[in-house]
Every structure is written in C-alpha cells, then in structure tokens.
Amino acid sequence: MSVMQFSRLVSIAPMMECTDKHDRFFLRLIAPHVYLYSEMITTKALIHGDCHRLLAFNAEEHPLALQLGGSDPKELAYCARLGEAFGYDEINLNAGCPSARVASGRFGACLMREPALVAECISAMRNAVTIPVTVKCRIGVDEQDSYEQLVHFIETIAEAGCQIVIIHARKALLNGFSPKKNRHIPPLRYDIVLRLKQTFPQLTIIINGGIKTIQDIQSLLNGVDGVMIGREAYGNPYFLAEIEQTFFSAEQDLLTRHQVIEKMILYMENELSKRTRLSSMARHILGLFQGQPGARMWRRYLSENMHHIGANTNLINEALHYV
C-alpha cells in the first residue's frame, strides 16, 4: 500500500485536555507521518473567545485536522472558515463525544439522533471551505443502536458530501455514564464497523476504539481504510515510533526517546519565554519511557515538581537521570 504524506492510514484521536498543540508537537517528533487531530473546540468558544489562542498551532504539526463541536450550521460554517484560514488540513465534526456537558449543548454523540441536522451542518461547512469535512461518530447512541439506524445515519451524511467517517466502535451511553465509562463499558464492536465498510465501499472508513498494538492495527486494516489510536498514544507515546517504522518509514532513522526530549527541551524553552507554564507541556511527556527502566521515577519526579513556580527545563534534565 503506497502511503502519501497526508495518509489517513494511522491517525491520533482528538482527546480533550490531551491533544493540544504542545502534545501534538511532541507526537510529531516521534512520528512524522501519523495524522493528528486537535482537541474538540466548540463553535461558541471560537465565536466568543480568543480564536487565535484556540486555533494557533506549530507548522510542524501538519497534517492536522480541527475538530469542531456544535450543531448550528451557520456557526459551524463560520468556524470552518476560521480553521481553513489558520491552515488546518481538515474540519471534523464531533458526533461521538458522550459527555453530559456536550449533550446539553446539542452536539457530540447526541447528534447521531439527528442525521438530517448533521447533514445540514456538513453541507454548510463544505460550502464554506475547500478542505475535507469529515465526521467522527459512534456506532449508536443509547437505545438508537441498530445497524439499520447506523446505516441511515451514514447514508444521510454521505449524501451531504461527507466522504470520510471515523467511527468509534462502541455505542455511546448518555444517561449517567461518564466519558471515562463510555471508553470501557459499552463493548467494542469492530465487526459493525467492518460490516459498514462493506456496505459503503466508496467511503473512507476509519476505525477507533481500544487499539493498542501493531497486531490490532494490521488486523483491522484488512477491513477498513485507516485506524485511529486514542489513549494508547497518550499513555505510551513512543508506541508511535513502532507504528512509524511498520507502516510509513521503515528505512528512516527515527528519533530515540532521548533525542525526542532534546528537541522538546528546545521547544519548551521557546514556549517558556512566551510565559507558557512548564506543566502545560511536561504533562504530555510523562509516558515517553513507558516500559523502560526508570519510567516510574521519571513520571513521579516530573509530576511532583513540574507545577512549582519558576519550574524550567532543568527539571527535565534532572528527571532524565532516572532513565
């Protein structure tokens, strides 16, 4: 399988309070080719807040998608235009987040109950931008979880022009279940997503949920167009180096963990000069030495000290003594 620069073969999921610009810069050092997604940003936040602070990113992060949360077609179109103007490579609509706060705002997974509205949102965004408009959803929500209902949802958004769908292979339970429980309690149903690809061979179907090993990825790629990695990429980020070597750049010398830290220290020093707190960046690198000798002490030393007033990159160098 030939892999283009903007391959969607392997991507990293949008994760709230995780995949900010500091984390994405860090992940890009490890894996030059995986496709990255922003945290979800709501349309209200962009319209009423500091859009430059919310949308700014490092050029090294490309390819990079902006995930939007919202359900008003005009607001989504406006925010999609902002995203394209800032240089994002894709606009993704969140129709899969299961948090109560998101549901009360009429976006996230509850949108799966309103396929016609999602189609209207897609049409508005597609008319506003030239970059791809995609959707991330689940296989169902609460009692609306039949295969026929899922097919109707996908059919409806495809007719509106959505050609790329990322599907978390669990249904969302919105009644009293936290986002954390929604990542574990509803059973994974890869078979449904694989069946969906057979039903819609013309669409690009990307599967998400519980993918933790190279073997998982290889197995799933036999039936879909791409995989999206979530928590494993955050808790064990150097796993992406294995992904990079297996699927993208077997002959390319990748950065070692220590080389990644050297480059992150330079990045952090630049950010510290802009008054970014060390903890805002260092929290993303806690899992870099997962599975290596000294990993626990590395995590503990950083966790206990990175919030101190005046903490700087000397702390990172001190933590390196443990690994």
DSSP code, position 108: G
What residues are paired with 312 via a beta bridge? none
Q: How far apart are CA 105 and CA 87, in angstroms?
A: 27
Query: Is 18 an active-site residue?
Result: no
pLDDT tens column, 45-98: 999 999 999 999 999 999 999 999 999 999 999 999 999 999 999 999 999 988
**Choosing from 79, 97, 137, 162, which is the catalytic residue?**
97
SS3 (DSSP) at 50: coil
Report domain extents, the chain: 10-247, 257-320
Structure tokens that stand for 145 in this block: 């979880």
The per-residue pLDDT for 3 is 35
Q: Where are the alpha helices (DSSP H) in the chain?
A: 21-30, 43-48, 51-55, 73-86, 100-104, 115-128, 147-159, 179-182, 190-199, 214-220, 231-235, 239-247, 257-272, 278-282, 295-305, 314-320
The per-residue pLDDT for 5 is 47
Q: How far apart are CA 189 and CA 178, in angstroms?
A: 20
Helix orientation angle between 239-247 and 21-30, rounded to the nearest 10 degrees: 50
pLDDT tens column, 234-251: 999 999 999 999 999 767
Average pLDDT over residues 134-146: 94
Same fold, 10-247 and 257-320: no
Question: Would you put residue 152 in left (φ > 0), alpha (ψ -120 to 50) or beta?
Answer: alpha
Give Dmax (Cα) for the chain.
Answer: 57
Q: Would the pLDDT of 104 be above 70? A: no
Structure tokens that stand for 227 in this block: 């995989």
Give me the phi and psi of 180, to 5 degrees please.
Answer: -65, -45
DSSP code, position 233: H
Q: Would the pLDDT of 318 be above 90? A: yes
At the top level of CATH, which class does the domain 257-320 belong to? mainly alpha
pLDDT tens column, 296-309: 999 999 999 999 99
Q: How far apart are CA 76 and CA 71, in angstroms?
A: 7
Structure tokens that stand for 87 in this block: 């240089």
Asked if residue 24 lies in contact with residue 48, where contact means CB atoms within 8 angstroms, the answer is no
pLDDT tens column, 155-198: 999 999 999 999 999 998 887 666 666 666 788 999 999 999 99
What residues are paired with 92 via a beta bridge? 67, 134
SS3 (DSSP) at 210: coil
So what's the architecture of 10-247 in CATH? Alpha-Beta Barrel (3.20)
Structure tokens that stand for 158 in this block: 């495809």
Residues in the chain: 323
The per-residue pLDDT for 180 is 67
The per-residue pLDDT for 1 is 30
